[in-house]
Structure 1
Amino acid sequence: MPLIKHDLILDHKDNPIFTPVFDHVQATFKNVICSGASTLIIHQDSIVLEQYIGKQSVKENARTIQADTQFHVASVRKSYIGFAVSYALFYDYINSIDDPVLSYLPELEENTWKGTTIRHLLTHTHGLNQEGNEDIREFTPGSSWSYKQIGIEALTQIVKRTTGKSVAEILHESVFTPLGFTESDWYSQKHEKLVDVVLRYEGDEDWKTSESTEGDKMNMYVSTRELAYWGYLHLKKGKVNGKQVVPREIIEVATSLQSPSTLHKDLPQNGFLWFVKDLPAKKTEIGDQVPKGSYQILGFTNVTLLVIPEEDIVAVRMFNSFGSPEGYDYLSDVRSFGDTVMSCVKNCKRSKKMKKLLIDSHCIFPTQDIMKTANFYEQKLGFKAVHYLNANEPHICLYRDTTEIILTKTNGRKVIPNRDLYGYGYDAYFITKNQEELQEELVSSNVKLVRPLDHTDYNNKEFVVEDIDGRWLAFGLKVD
C-alpha cells in the first residue's frame, strides 16, 4: 500500500480569481496545434483550479481529456533527471557537481570533453553537440548557454553508473511509490490513457519514440494532477502531509541557482535542469512578474510546471502539441502564463485584505468597452474581474464581497444612464452598512462623487458615485 494516496493529499477549494489562468490556457490551446489541454493550480495547500479541454487525439471518437489522462511531457522529464542527479549527490555516489564528466565516463573522447563538469551538463553550459555519431564542441564550457540533448544523455549515464539504478528506478523508489503515483512513468507501449501527440506536420523529424523505460529517453507521460503534485513536493521541500518523503537537501540543491558565475547575466539561469528565477535575464522563459526564487520547466509539447515558493503556489498547464506553429512566440506565451498566475495571486491577496463592506447585490451592465469598464471597477472600486470572453455570450464577472456585477457588450452602442433616458433614477443600488468607510475609500481612489453621504427623503442613508460609463451607483441602507 502507498504511504499516501495522492488523490487525498489536497482538498479542492475552487477559486474564481484564478479563472484568467484557464482563459490563458484556452487561448494557447487555440493557437497551437493540439487536440487537448488542461490546467491545475495548487495554492496554499488546496487545488484552486482544475480544468480539462478537448480530446486525447484528433481521431474520431477519441477519449476525452480527463483527470487520469497522461500527457507527453517532453523536456519536463528533465526535472526528474535533475532529481536523480541530486539524489546521487546527496547519497555520495557523486562527489561534486564540479567533478569532470570524464571522471565518471572515461570512455568519452578526451579532447572534446576536457574541462566539462557535471555542473555544465546540469545548466546547459557544456558547449557540446552531436553531428552524426561524433561529439563536437561549439564553445568553451561555462562561457555560454545552449539547449542540447547530449548533456542529458551523459547525465543519465552518470546516474546509472554511480548509483547502479536507472533514473526511473530512483524516482519510483523515492517518490512514485511512497506517494502512490500511478500516472507518471516512461512507456515503451501506448495505452488508452496516454495522449497522442499532435505533430506539426506528417513525418516531423524531431519526434522520437523509445522502448526504454529507464528514464533516459523522451517517452515520459504524466497526468495533470501528478505533475502538479510533483511540483508540490518541491514546493514543500520533500515534506508532504507531515512526512519527509524526500530529504529536504535533494530538493533545495536541485531548485537553487547552479549556473556558472561567469555566465552572462542575460542568459537563462538553471538549477539541476530546472530554469530558476534569480537575476533579471532577457532570455529567461520565466515571466517578468514571477518573483525571485521561483523555478519552472517547459517541454516541447508546451507542457509547463511553475513553482513559486514566495506565493506558496504551483501552476501546471498541459497540451498534446509538439512544438509551435511557424511564427508563434512560445517564449512570450509561457512568460505570460506565469505573469497571469502572478496577477491572480495579487488579486487574491487584495480580496482577502478588503473588508466586507457590501451586502448581496447582483447587476448586469451592458458596456461599450468591456475591458475599459472592467479595469475601472478593478482599479477604482476594488472589484476583482473574472473573464469569460471566449464564452458564447462574452462577459466579465466583477466580484467584491458577496456582490457581483456582470459586464456584457453593447456591440458598440453607447451606454445611456437612466437619468438621461427617463429624467431621474440610479442605475444600480448596492446595500452596505458601512457607508462612511466605503465613501472614503472610493473618494481616495478618485471616483467621481455625485452625491455625498446623506439622509434622503425616503429614509435611506446613502451616497452616489458615477462610473466610467456615466452610470450613477448608489450605496446605502434603509434607516430605521
Structure 2
Amino acid sequence: MINAVNDHFQSLNDYVNHIQTAIGATAAATYIIKNNLVVNEWYSGRHDSIPESRLVDEKTQFNVGSVRKTYLGLAISLLIEQGKIRSIDEEIGTYLNEYAHIAKGVTMRHLLTHTHGLYEENGQFLREFQVGEGWAYRSPGITMLIRLVSQLSGQNLSTFMQRYVFDIYRLKETEWRTEYQEDLIYNYYKDKDTWVGQNNSDAGDQSNLFISARDLAKWGYMHLKKGCLNGEQLLPQSVFERVITLQTPNSVQSNCPRNGFIWWLQSDSPLNEIGGRLPSCSYQILGITGCACLVIPKYDAVIVRMYNQLSNPTGYDYLSDLRQFGNMANDLLMKLSV
C-alpha cells in the first residue's frame, strides 16, 4: 500500500495519546488505511515503563486480546467454505459429542454471537439464560469453537490460520507467541495473574496473539475488500461476507448487541462499542489491552488503535472512550470524503 500520511488525523492521534496517559499504557499506535492508501501512521511511547525499553515503531507487535476472536470467526467461515460445516444453525454437539448434553440446543450461530447463555465456574459450564434469549460476553462459546476448528481440520487454530490465511495474505507480523522477542510488547507476563491470560501455548487457544498495527489494519482491510488484495481475490468473497453479516438470532432482544462472526456490528444497543455517528455498515472488534480495529465501508477505511493497557483505572469508561475514538475518526474521514 502507498503511504500518504499527513497531519489531517493529528487530533485523533492526540486523543489516543491523552487516553494512553489516562490508562497508564506505556505504548500506543494508530494506523489508518483509506482507499488503499495509508493516510495515518503514528507511534508513541516504549514497550515498557523502563527508560531503556524499546521505542514503539512500525515493527512493534501488541498483544491484541479478544481481537484474536475475529481470527477464529474467519476460521469457522473457511470451514464452511470447505464443506466441513454444513450450517451454523446446527448444534455444536452434532460435531463435538462432549458438548451434546451441556450445550443442548446451542448452535454455532449462538456461539459466534454470544447468545448461547453459558458461563464457566470452577471448570464447569453453567446456564445463565436460555439459548438465544439474551447476550453475554462469556468464554465457553470461544472454547467450543476453538475445539471445533481442531476437530474438523485436524490442526490447531494457529496452524490452520497460518496455512490458509497468514501465508496467503503475507501477514508476517501476526502470530500466537509464547516467548519474548524484541518486537513484542511483553510486559503483561511479569505477574503471576496476568491481565491477558496465559501464554504457554502457541496453538491459538490462548489470548497471546501478537500483531503489529499495520498487520491489524491489513486484517481489517482484507475484510472490507472481502478477501481481495491488490486486485487479486485470494480467498472467496463469501468467506468474508458471512463474518461481517448480521448473524444474531431474531429471538434476541433488540437492546442487545448485534454480531456477525464475533465482529460487533453497528446497533442501538446501550452496550454497543461503536460510536453513534458511525455509519450503519460499520463493524469493530476490541481487545482487553485496548487494541481495536474499526472498519467503515462507507469511507473505504480501516482505523486501528493499539495500547498495552494493564488495567482499567478508576473513573475510566472504556465504552465511552471507544465510542469517542470512533466518532472522531468518522468526522475526520467524512471531511476527507467531501
Structures share fold, TM-score greater than 0.5: yes
| Deviation (angstroms), 1:225 | 0.5
Residues 153-197 of structure 1 show CA distances to partners (whole Å, capped at 9, x for unaligned) of 100101111122222222212221122222100012111111034
Q: SS at the partner of 1:230?
A: helix
Q: SS at the partner of 2:84?
A: coil
Written as runs of structure 1 = structure 2, the 5 A alignment for 1:229-248 is: 229-248=218-237
Which residue of structure 2 lines up, in the alignment, with residue 463 of structure 1? Answer: none
Which residue of structure 2 lines up, in the alignment, with residue 178 of structure 1? Answer: 168
Which residue of structure 2 lines up, in the alignment, with residue 18 of structure 1? Answer: 9
The answer to whether residue 263 in structure 2 is matched with residue 274 in structure 1 is yes
Distance 2:188 2:14 in 1: 22
Which of 37, 43, 46 is equivalent to 1:46? 37
Which residue of structure 2 lines up, in the alignment, with residue 145 of structure 1? Answer: 135
Distance 2:235 2:312 in 1: 36
Which of 194, 212, 216 is equivalent to 1:223? 212
Distance 2:113 2:337 in 1: 34
Which residue of structure 2 lines up, in the alignment, with residue 256 of structure 1? Answer: 245
Q: Could you say if the C-alpha distance between residues 54 and 140 of structure 1 is closer, same or farther in structure 2, counting changes exceeding 3 Å?
A: same
Query: Does the 8 Å contact 1:35/1:198 carry over to 2?
Result: no
Query: Does the 8 Å contact 2:196/2:289 carry over to 1?
Result: no
Distance 1:203 1:325 in 2: 20
Which residue of structure 2 lines up, in the alignment, with residue 106 of structure 1? Answer: 97
The answer to whether residue 183 in structure 2 is matched with residue 193 in structure 1 is yes
Query: Does the 8 Å contact 1:17/1:347 carry over to 2?
Result: no
Distance 2:165 2:304 in 1: 19
| Deviation (angstroms), 1:262 | 1.4
Distance 1:104 1:34 in 2: 42
Which residue of structure 1 lines up, in the alignment, with residue 150 of structure 2? Answer: 160
Q: SS at the partner of 1:16?
A: coil
RMSD: 1.6
Q: SS at the partner of 2:98?
A: coil
Residues 28-65 of structure 1 show CA distances to partners (whole Å, capped at 9, x for unaligned) of 11111211100000011100000000001112310000
> Structure 2 counterpart of 1:227, which letter?
L
**TM norm structure 1:** 0.68
> Structure 1 counterpart of 2:321, which letter?
D
| Deviation (angstroms), 1:349 | 2.6
Residues 343-363 of structure 1 show CA distances to partners (whole Å, capped at 9, x for unaligned) of 10122133xxxxxxxxxxxxx
**TM norm structure 2:** 0.96
| Greater strand content | 1
Which residue of structure 1 lines up, in the alignment, with residue 114 of structure 2? Answer: 124
> Structure 1 counterpart of 2:33, which letter?
I
| Deviation (angstroms), 1:202 | 5.7
Query: Does the 8 Å contact 1:75/1:298 carry over to 2?
Result: yes
The answer to whether residue 285 in structure 2 is matched with residue 294 in structure 1 is no
The answer to whether residue 80 in structure 2 is matched with residue 92 in structure 1 is no
Q: Could you say if the C-alpha distance between residues 299 and 137 of structure 1 is closer, same or farther in structure 2, counting changes exceeding 3 Å?
A: same
Query: Does the 8 Å contact 2:113/2:248 carry over to 1?
Result: yes
Distance 2:194 2:162 in 1: 31
Distance 2:223 2:12 in 1: 21
Distance 1:38 1:205 in 2: 22
Which residue of structure 2 lines up, in the alignment, with residue 471 of structure 1? Answer: none
Which residue of structure 2 lines up, in the alignment, with residue 321 of structure 1? Answer: 309
Residues 125-172 of structure 1 show CA distances to partners (whole Å, capped at 9, x for unaligned) of 111011112111110011111111111010010111112222222221
Distance 1:14 1:205 in 2: 36
Q: Could you say if the C-alpha distance between residues 323 and 257 of structure 1 is closer, same or farther in structure 2, counting changes exceeding 3 Å?
A: farther
Query: Does the 8 Å contact 1:186/1:221 carry over to 2?
Result: yes
Distance 1:232 1:205 in 2: 31
Q: SS at the partner of 1:39?
A: strand
**Greater mean alpha carbon deviation, residues 11-20 or residues 58-67:** 11-20
Residues 186-236 of structure 1 show CA distances to partners (whole Å, capped at 9, x for unaligned) of 01211111103459x965465422322121211110001000111111111
Aligned sequence identity (%): 37
